[in-house]
Structure 1
Amino acid sequence: MIEDAKKSETGGARRSSLGRGLSALFGEATEDYTALDKVRQSKQVPIEFVHPGRYQPRRKFDEEAIQGLVESIRDKGILQPLLVRRDGDDANSYELIAGERRWRAAQIAGLHEVPVVIRDLSDREALEIALIENIQRQDLTPLEEAEGYRRLMEEFDHTQEDLAKAVGKSRSHVANMMRLLALPDPVKSMVQDGALTAGHARALLTASDPASVAREVVKRGLNVRQTEELMRGDSGKAKKASAGPAADSALRDVDLVNLEEEISARIGLKVAINPQGKRGTITIHYQTLDQLDDVLRRLGGEG
């Protein structure tokens, strides 16, 4: 009862263990000695027995930040153990779930062993925890976060509502992030490299040629608001060139735009709806054959 009361006082609204991220697995470490106690309770394993996880959402690691961590590890060691699970193919091997940055820094620092906490986790839990840890620490690029959401929805049958609760985000945030996957590769590269923010990228989703507009935005150093104004001007030109007033009216329909965004968020690809009276067309834009195969699989009702 006392333990439940403490949880109530510190937790406020009830949250899932995954929603709390690694604190649910390691506890709330607010002092160095608490973290050190957890290291003592963990298991030391040879560093070469640990390998990166299949479900690590991060693709880009800040080398400067890792070098700073190397000095800290050399001075004080690893204060927070790595979270791992046993490799099903090798009893002496461990797959990293959380802590790859520390693992990389420990290698550079010349450590022969690292502290680990071993958990029995499913593939779904492994991806959820890895994604949540990085989101909470703001270590992911917008596209890495969006790709993590996509994998949870497609590989593990998450709905947007379930996913939002699991990662502690709003449903609209998840939907908006997943919309970025519909951008062409040149624009994705600019986002991944930090030349464009997620806000810039969302504004470019409605552009007829997002890549050329993105290059202009970067060249002129436009902020998100200026990019949105640029897109409104581009939309106005497109409307003047359209075939007729009925189509213009439909394109300006907020519900129609929302529907396009909803479908785009669900399939991770740009979708355009062109109503023509009671009829119309839906266009799905894909960048690779893998994306096309995925759309065909969905339409065929497989998986």
Structure 2
Amino acid sequence: MNEDLSRKRLGRGLAALIGDLDRPAAPSEQMSVRADRSAPIEHVSPNPRNPRRSFAESDLEDLTQSIREHGIVQPVVVRTMPDGHYEIIAGERRWRAAQRAGLAAVPIVIRDVTDRVALELAIIENVQRADLNAVEEAQGYQQLIDEHQYTQADLGQVIGKSRSHVANTLRLLKLPDHVRSLVTDGSLSAGHARTLVTALDPAGLARRIVDEGLSVRQAEALAQQPARQESAKAERHAAAEKDADTIALEKTLSDALGLKVSITHGQRGGDIKIRYSSLEQLDTICHRLQRH
């Protein structure tokens, strides 16, 4: 399947794509679709590259009980592997619950796709169903970037999210492992995690958020305090050494950007610093720089 066609189809959303499963695909799409069938449950296995790693015990138990009473309503979407068994593209939670319910077979829909498309579908399904935590979502995006040369704009179009959402989510991967584990187990929300990205001591602030039950707004205020104190101290020191022309240029740039700009320079060059207070402001700066 060529890259443009894949992204166009996937950009319509998983629900539309799954709805196409009962319609034979055109030969140009290089993808075969077969009728629904049942497969022995032991012949179906999860995709080891699925970004989703955690499954809530309570949700699994509820689904298991439902399957015992009503069976599996929605088939598991799979692809055929070289050994004749099947790898799950979408529906791993249903497959896990079916195992718990003691089913010998599961209904499947076969979609023969590449590794790249299988990963795209897994991410899209989980994101649209809100099944991924923020760290798993970021790891899934990073997989597509590393393995299939996606840009952040491509991801936004395929996943159905804004480019800024993709960029802000990917920044969560910069957090320390311990902090990311708190997001994974639900101790920290995605909003808290985004606040921690710009904190001077993300691990320390994460502990305070969990111990004191801080809101996202409270966490944002604490994250900004040290940076503001350091900035004020540096600005007072630099202001004493700057000439009138430098100060005037700082004001001109600050007025143009709507953000605080600081300039330092010497015989071997200098620095321009733009102060932002939120990831949205950083995203705006990046957009402006990329247009030139």
TM-score of the two chains, using structure 1 as the length reference? 0.71
Where does residue 108 of structure 1 map in the other structure?
100
Change (3 A) 1:211 1:255: farther
8 Å CA contact 2:138, 2:169 repeated in 1: yes
Change (3 A) 1:237 1:101: same
For structure 1, the 5+ residue unaligned runs are: 1-14, 30-40, 259-273, 282-303
Q: 2:142 is matched with which residue: 150, 174, 193?
A: 150
1:210-249 correspondence runs (5 A): 210-242=202-234, 244-245=237-238
Q: Distance in 2 between the 1:26 and 1:114 partners?
A: 17
Where does residue 52 of structure 2 map in the other structure?
58
Q: 1:72 is matched with which residue: 60, 66, 69?
A: 66
Q: Secondary structure of the equivalent of 2:86?
A: strand
8 Å CA contact 1:187, 1:211 repeated in 2: yes
1:1-303 correspondence runs (5 A): 16-27=8-19, 41-88=35-82, 90-91=83-84, 93-242=85-234, 244-245=237-238, 277=265, 278-279=269-270
Paired letter, 1:175:
A
Change (3 A) 1:160 1:53: same
Q: CA deviation at 1:189?
A: 1.4
Change (3 A) 1:86 1:227: same
Change (3 A) 1:59 1:225: same
Q: What's the Cα RMSD here?
A: 3.1
Q: CA deviation at 1:146?
A: 0.6
Q: CA deviation at 1:68?
A: 0.8
Paired letter, 2:227:
S
Change (3 A) 1:255 1:141: farther
Q: Secondary structure of the equivalent of 1:177?
A: helix
Q: Which has the larger radius of gyration?
A: 2
| % identity of equivalent residues | 51
1:92-143 C-alpha deviation (Å, 9 max, x unpaired): x111110000000100111111111111111110011000000111000000
8 Å CA contact 2:199, 2:224 repeated in 1: no
Paired letter, 1:245:
A
1:276-299 C-alpha deviation (Å, 9 max, x unpaired): 533459xxxxxxxxxxxxxxxxxx
Change (3 A) 1:245 1:64: same
8 Å CA contact 1:19, 1:132 repeated in 2: no
Q: Secondary structure of the equivalent of 2:9?
A: coil
1:147-192 C-alpha deviation (Å, 9 max, x unpaired): 1111111110111111100000000000010011111112111111
Q: CA deviation at 1:28?
A: 8.6
Where does residue 25 of structure 2 map in the other structure?
none
Q: Secondary structure of the equivalent of 2:47?
A: coil
Aligned residue pairs total: 238
1:240-267 C-alpha deviation (Å, 9 max, x unpaired): 45483269x99xx7999x9xxxxxxxxx
Q: Distance in 2 between the 1:107 and 1:255 partners?
A: 61
Where does residue 26 of structure 2 map in the other structure?
none
For structure 2, the 5+ residue unaligned runs are: 1-6, 22-34, 242-246, 273-292
